[in-house]
């Protein structure tokens, strides 16, 4: 019944404050609550525990302190220092030094200079302490500004950062060539936001075809790309292309999101492919959670079941 819900419906619901406060009440309240399927917890300690568990299975991690679309200098500043505290906690815990962040969390909606200043605070620490910082890609109004900010950083000389390119955007092959020319690292994803037909492919077959074309471009011309998908067809296309072209497993990595297709995560890592799990955490989990429901509306059934179980306790 839920499978028929369009991605657009989840995008609208993600803006509902009533739904957000309801979800916040039930989503994390016990160890079995529904949001924990996709989110490691609200606190950094919980994320580190999840990261340790992932690493025990021989996989790598990237930690994402959830947050986006901050509207004031104070919030952007607070988010920056919260990230720095997370980096310190990662160092103390000795888990993988790799983080993912969103530029609207650091003030991209306020102005680009504020965002660059905040990002530099983070990449300065990354350079000193050997972290890698992945800049997630948000919806298309931010694509140019995200790539421009990244190029500014690269131009200053920061090398421990990379970006994300979304296959569903019609512009993406050109963007890959632009980032490849720098020698920077790209994470390739299909794209998680609701976008118009003017800028993005609307059919799964078109997005998949673009993903395969771009994967090939990245494996042949890119710098240690990350192929981030749960789609077995995309994964098979990647391993077959790499094999046919003599590209060794250690020239690229696979990535998946925490809680999704754990079976595939284990089998790919078992086959000797470098494999990273994206571990999201933090109090601002609602928009991220709604995007995961939008990707697979059948997840709503699972959420409703968990709420009913939780309420009956």
Ligand X SMILES: Cc1cc2nc3c(=O)[nH]c(=O)nc-3n(C[C@H](O)[C@H](O)[C@H](O)COP(=O)(O)OP(=O)(O)OC[C@H]3O[C@@H](n4cnc5c(N)ncnc54)[C@H](O)[C@@H]3O)c2cc1C
Chain positions contacting ligand X, by CB under 6 A: 136-137, 164, 166, 189-193, 228-231, 255-257, 260-261, 278, 292, 295-296, 299
Please tell me the distance from the alpha carbon of residue 292 to that of residue 82, in angstroms, as a whole number. Answer: 24
> Please, which residue, 158 or 278, has the CB nearer to ligand X?
278
Lookup: tokens for 174 = 């050109």
Residues with Cβ within 8 Å of residue 266, at least 6 apart in sequence: 57
Q: How far is the CB of 18 from ligand X (least distance, A)?
A: 23
> Please, which residue, 217 or 234, has the CB nearer to ligand X?
234
130 DSSP 8-state letter: T
Pairing assessment for the beta strands 275-281 and 253-257 based on DSSP bridges: parallel
Q: How far is the CB of 234 from ligand X (least distance, A)?
A: 6
Residues with Cβ within 8 Å of residue 202, at least 6 apart in sequence: none
Q: How far is the CB of 286 from ligand X (least distance, A)?
A: 15
Q: How far is the CB of 246 from ligand X (least distance, A)?
A: 26
- Quick check: 62 and 101 in contact, CB under 8 A? no
Please tell me the distance from the alpha carbon of residue 274 to that of residue 185, in angstroms, as a whole number. Answer: 15
Q: Does 187 participate in catalysis according to the annotation? A: yes
The helix or strand, by DSSP H or E, that contains position 300, with its residue range, turns out to be helix 299-311
Lookup: tokens for 123 = 């990449």
- Quick check: 200 and 182 in contact, CB under 8 A? no
Q: How far is the CB of 137 from ligand X (least distance, A)?
A: 4
Q: How far is the CB of 313 from ligand X (least distance, A)?
A: 25
> Please, which residue, 72 or 203, has the CB nearer to ligand X?
203
> Please, which residue, 225 or 312, has the CB nearer to ligand X?
225
Catalytic-labelled residue, pool 64, 109, 136, 175: 136
Please tell me the distance from the alpha carbon of residue 18 to that of residue 24, in angstroms, as a whole number. Answer: 10
> Please, which residue, 158 or 275, has the CB nearer to ligand X?
275
Please tell me the distance from the alpha carbon of residue 188 to that of residue 220, in angstroms, as a whole number. Answer: 14
Catalytic-labelled residue, pool 97, 134, 187, 276: 187
Residues with Cβ within 8 Å of residue 5, at least 6 apart in sequence: 297, 300
Please tell me the distance from the alpha carbon of residue 53 to that of residue 233, in angstroms, as a whole number. Answer: 27
Candidates 212, 136, 222; CA nearest to 178 is: 222
> Please, which residue, 88 or 209, has the CB nearer to ligand X?
209
> Please, which residue, 243 or 296, has the CB nearer to ligand X?
296
CA-based end-to-end distance of the chain: 26
Q: How far is the CB of 100 from ligand X (least distance, A)?
A: 7
CB environment 290-304: b (16+ within 10 A), e (fewer): bbbbbeebebbeebe
Q: Does 136 participate in catalysis according to the annotation? A: yes
**Residues designated as active site:** 136, 187
């Amino acid at each position: 019944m839920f499978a028929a819900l369009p991605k657009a419906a989840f995008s609208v619901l993600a803006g509902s404050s009533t739904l957000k406060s309801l979800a916040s009440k039930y989503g994390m309240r016990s160890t079995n609550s529904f949001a924990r399927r996709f989110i490691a917890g609200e606190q950094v300690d919980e994320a580190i525990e999840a990261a340790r568990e992932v690493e025990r299975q021989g996989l790598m991690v990237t930690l994402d302190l959830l947050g986006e679309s901050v509207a004031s200098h104070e919030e952007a500043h607070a988010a920056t220092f919260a990230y720095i505290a997370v980096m310190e906690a990662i160092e103390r815990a000795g888990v993988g030094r790799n983080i993912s962040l969103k530029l609207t969390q650091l003030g991209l909606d306020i102005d680009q200079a504020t965002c660059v200043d905040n990002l530099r605070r983070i990449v300065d620490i990354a350079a000193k302490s050997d972290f890698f910082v992945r800049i997630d890609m948000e919806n298309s109004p931010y694509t140019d500004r995200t790539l421009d900010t990244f190029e500014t950083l690269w131009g200053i000389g920061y090398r421990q950062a990379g970006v994300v390119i979304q296959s569903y955007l019609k512009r993406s092959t050109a963007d890959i060539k632009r980032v490849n020319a720098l020698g920077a690292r790209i994470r390739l994803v299909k794209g998680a936001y609701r976008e118009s037909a003017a800028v993005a492919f609307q059919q799964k077959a078109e997005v998949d075809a673009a993903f395969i074309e771009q994967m090939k471009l990245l494996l042949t011309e890119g710098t240690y790309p990350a192929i981030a998908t749960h789609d077995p067809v995309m994964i098979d296309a990647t391993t077959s292309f790499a094999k046919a072209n003599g590209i060794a497993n250690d020239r690229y990595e696979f990535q998946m999101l925490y809680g999704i297709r754990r079976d595939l995560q284990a089998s790919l890592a078992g086959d000797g492919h470098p494999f990273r799990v994206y571990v999201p955490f933090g109090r601002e989990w609602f928009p991220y959670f709604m995007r995961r429901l939008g990707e697979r509306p059948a997840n709503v059934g699972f959420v409703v079941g968990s709420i009913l179980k939780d309420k009956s306790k």
